[in-house]
């Protein structure tokens, strides 16, 4: 019975470790500073220094905007509100910064959208 419990415990620890390594990180530590989603590029450079590699591109994103239009109806002598969605196209500049932290640490990929940190992802161990 002890062997089964011990095996189940080790299996559970392996699953937790695997999810921690492959999942998305919420924060990234640079020396004594912590990088969190919502930080700007300048804050990250100030805390961590320049990245090892930067990949950037622009994407066109389409979203719905619910513009409220107010029209005066002369028959009823009141305003009528039209709330119809229309599509808005915006350009989003995306940058992925790579920090390679050495052979014993996992590589960090920081994703910025229009200069704001939106994601921190763990990669393979560095070199």
With respect to residue 103, please indicate whether it lies within any of the assigned structural domains. Answer: yes
- Count of domains for the chain: 1
Q: What does the pLDDT read at residue 26? A: 60
Q: Domain with 114 in it: what CATH number?
A: 3.30.1450
pLDDT, block means (10 residues), the chain with 127 residues: 55 52 63 91 94 96 74 74 75 96 92 96 88
Q: Which domain holds residue 56?
A: 2-65+93-125
**Which pLDDT belongs to residue 29?**
86
pLDDT at 82: 64
Cα 91 to chain centroid, rounded: 17
Domain annotation covers residue 72:
no
pLDDT value for 79: 72
Query: Is residue 97 within 8 Å of residue 49, measured between CB atoms?
Result: no
47 in a domain, yes or no?
A: yes
- Tell me 91's DSSP state: E
pLDDT of residue 74: 74
- Residue 83's pLDDT is what? 64
Cα separation, 19 vs 110, whole angstroms:
19
């Amino acid at each position: 019975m002890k062997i089964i419990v011990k095996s189940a415990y080790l299996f559970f620890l392996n699953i937790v470790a695997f999810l921690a390594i492959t999942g998305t990180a919420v924060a990234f530590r640079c020396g004594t500073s912590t990088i969190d989603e919502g930080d700007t590029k300048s804050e990250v450079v100030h805390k961590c220094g320049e990245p090892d590699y930067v990949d950037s591109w622009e994407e066109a994103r389409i979203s719905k905007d619910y513009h409220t239009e107010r029209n005066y109806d002369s028959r009823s002598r009141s305003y009528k509100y039209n709330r119809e969605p229309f599509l808005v196209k915006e350009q989003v500049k995306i940058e992925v910064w790579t920090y390679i932290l050495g052979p014993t640490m996992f590589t960090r990929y920081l994703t910025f959208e229009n200069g704001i940190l939106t994601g921190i992802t763990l990669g393979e161990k560095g070199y």
